[in-house]
Amino acid sequence: MKSPIQKYTIIFLVLVLGTSACNLPGNVAPQTIPQQTPDQTITALFEFINTAQAQQTVVAAQPTLAPTSTATVTPLPTTAVPPTATLAPSAVPTETEEPEVVEESSDSDQSDSGGRSSRRGTRVVAHYLQDEPTIDGVFDEWDADRYSADSVVYGGNRWDGDDDLSSTFMVAWDDYYLYIAARVIDEEYVQNASGKNLFKGDSIELLLDINVAKDYYDRNLSLDDFQFGISPGPDEPGDDVESYVWYPRSRRGVYKTIKVAALPTDDGYRIEVKIPWEIMDIEPDIGKHYGFAFSVSDNDDDDENVQQSLVSNVSTRRLTDPTTWGDLTLEGK
- CATH classification number, 134-331, choose in 3.30.70.270, 2.60.40.1190, 3.30.450.30, 3.40.50.12160: 2.60.40.1190
Of the candidates 307, 194, 208, which has an alpha carbon nearest to the alpha carbon of residue 241? Answer: 194
Per-residue pLDDT in tens (0 to 9) along the chain, 333 residues: 555 555 555 555 545 444 444 443 444 444 444 444 334 433 333 343 344 444 443 333 333 334 344 444 444 444 343 333 333 333 444 655 455 566 665 544 444 555 677 888 799 999 999 999 999 999 999 999 999 999 999 999 999 999 999 999 999 999 999 999 999 999 999 999 999 999 999 999 999 999 999 989 999 999 999 999 999 999 899 999 999 999 999 999 999 999 999 999 999 999 999 999 999 999 999 999 999 999 999 999 999 999 999 999 999 999 999 999 999 999 996
Contact 121, 291 (CB under 8 A): no
Cα–Cα distance measured from residue 291 to residue 106, given in angstroms and rounded to the nearest whole number: 14
The pair phi, psi for residue 72, each rounded to 5°, is: -90, 120
**pTM of the prediction?**
0.70
Domain boundaries, given as residue ranges, for the chain: 134-331
